[in-house]
Amino acid sequence: MSVTESALRERLCEVLVRRGDEIADRWVRQQVERVSLSEGLAQEDLHEEADALVAALRRGMASELPTDRVVASHQELREAVVDMSMRRARAGSSPTATSLSVLALKDVLLEAAQQESLAADDMLAAALLLNRLLDAAGALCFETYVEGREEIIRRQSRQLLEVSTPVVRLWRHVLAVPLVGTLDTARSQVVMETLLEAIQQHEATVAIIDITGVPTVDTSVAQHLMQTVQAVRMMGADCVISGIRPAIAQTIVQLGIDLSDILTRANLADALATAVRLTGEDGTGTVSGPLAAPGAPEVRAAP
Amino acid sequence: MRGGPVPILRLGDTLVTGLLNELDDSSALALAEELTDRIVSDRARGVLIDISRVEIIDSFVARALMELSTMAQLLGARVVVAGMRPAVAITLVELGIELKGVETALNAEQGMSALGWRHSSSGLQEPPT
């Protein structure tokens, strides 16, 4: 870094040491006045946060790192910014408010620099330097905020996946999966896995997939359903799809989706009746496929 | 002398056999040959193939199973493939492999009952009226 720049940084550092508390205070006031902060943030928290960030900034400026990389590479400063952003994200502030909060520090610092009665040239250089520094901080803040939100979304969708695919035993050898919500690839994977495991565990011969809670059936949903049915059949069980509403039946036909291989019923009650019949009058279960039970050879007694 | 590593048992007019984890070209051929011979010589009407030991089924094994069941049908016997693992079923579906024309059963017991056998210990069953 150039001599003037390093001298400038030293100078600014010195200002931060001397008037750090004052700057932090003014910053908090600026934030409260200008930025519409969420109510989840208490004044004391803001003060604490500001103190930590100003201190970190001072140490970052004092380090040997080039100005452009101070925010990204100075660990303490980076952590302070990330920390602040995460806390705001959790408290529900908007990303704009969070970034503006950081950028408000710029004004405060510039004011402080101005009061140091620097020469006009130095003042310009100081303004540019502070701009670069805090723009980087603002960007980092925004990035962290988005990441934090994404993490929340990921966690929620994982939880949704876990809670939304129960397999229930309806009858002897009959299982049911009530599906609620859209059926995407990840979801159908989970449904398939849990269903097949349950079939093996309960020795079920019929599985009912109830799609009453599925809002729409398009080609991809139908594809997933058919895959699941195929997998169930390969396991040696039969599959009934229930809960097809009139509107869905219309869509399926209009889209030209062929579900003729699959046993479908309008509601769960009908599906259960069918399933119980499929498990067989003799109670020993049936085989899926073209030669299934009705045409089976005569029953013999085991020797 | 003939035959693969898997024995073929006869129970009444049903043949019972299984697949081990690995099935290569030669053993698939050997199994097909032995099985078709036995169907004719034992006058079997049903064949149960247990695959509960098989952890991976690729297109080769799938085709072998389909061919076996077609051959058996030509000789007048039904083939039931029993005991496919969930993971195997998922893989097959994802690979887009359909076991066309192959009957399946959850386990050997249900496969046998599908072939017309009834197990004598009817503790769980309603007695036939």
**Which chain B residue's Cα is nearest to A230?**
B93
Mean pLDDT of A63-69: 78
The shortest CB-CB distance from A236 to any of B82, B90, B98 is to: B82
Six-digit token string for B96: 């887009």
CB contacts of B98 in chain A (<8 Å) are 230
Residues in contact with A272: Cβ distance below 8 Å, sequence separation at least 6, in sequence order:
A170, A171, A174, A176, A208
A181-202 mean pLDDT: 87
Q: Where are the domains positioned within chain A?
A: 3-157, 168-288
Report whether A136 contacts A68 (CB < 8 A). yes
Considering only CB atoms, B105 lies closest to which of A196, A230, A287, namely: A287
Position A6 scores a pLDDT of: 79
The secondary structure of A109-152 as a DSSP string is HHHHHHTT---HHHHHHHHHHHHHHHHHHHHHHHHHHHHHHHHH
Give Dmax over CA atoms of chain B in angstroms. Answer: 49
Helix (H) and strand (E) counts in chain B:
4, 5
Residues B64/B69/B70/B75 CA torsion (nearest 10 deg): 130
CA distance B81 to chain A (A): 8
* CA quadruple A70, A75, A76, A79: dihedral sign: positive
Identify which of A196, A230, A286 has the shortest CB distance to residue B98.
A230
Assigned token pair, A135: 């723009």
The domain A3-157 having CATH identifier 3.30.70.20: the answer here is no
How would residue A38 be classed by pLDDT, with cut points 50, 70 and 90?
low
Choose the closest CB to B113 out of A196, A199, A284.
A284
Containing H/E element for A86?
helix A75-91
Q: What is the pLDDT of residues B57-81, one digit of tens each?
A: 888 888 888 888 899 988 889 999 9
A200: nearest CA partner in chain B: B106
pLDDT for position A239: 92
The answer on pLDDT for A259 being more than 50 is yes
Distance of CA A40 to the CA centre of its chain: 22
Least confident of A46-55, A138-147, B119-128: B119-128
Q: Quick check: A286 and B126 CB within 8 A?
A: no
Residue A10 is predicted with a pLDDT of: 83
Q: Mean of the per-residue pLDDT values for chain A?
A: 81
pLDDT at site A286: 44
With a pLDDT cut of 70, the percent of chain A lying above it is 89
Span B8-37, average pLDDT? 86
Best residue of A189, A191, A287, A298 to probe chain B, by most B CBs closer than 10 Å: A287
Place of tokens 């994982």: A158
Which fold is adopted by the domain A168-288? Transcription Regulator spoIIAA (3.30.750)
Tell me how close the Cα of A303 comes to any Cα of chain B, in angstroms: 8
Distance from CA of B37 to the nearest CA of A (A): 22
Does the pLDDT of residue A300 top 80, yes or no? no
- Cβ atoms of A209 and A179 within 8 Å: the answer is yes
**Domain annotation for chain B: domains and CATH numbers:** 9-114 (3.30.750.24)
Q: What is the 3-state secondary structure (H, E, C) of A38-82?
A: CCCCCHHHHHHHHHHHHHHHHHHHHCCCCHHHHHHHCHHHHHHHH
Burial (CB < 10 A; 0-12, 13-18, 19+), residue A303, is: exposed
Distance separating alpha carbons of residues B115 and B129, to the nearest angstrom: 21
Asked if residue B4 lies in contact with residue B27, where contact means CB atoms within 8 angstroms, the answer is: yes
pLDDT of A283 over the 70 cut:
no
Q: Do B92 and A232 touch (CB under 8 A)?
A: no
The structure tokens listed for A73 are 């590479």
Write the pLDDT tens digit of every residue in A94-107: 878 888 888 888 88
ipTM above 0.90, yes or no: no
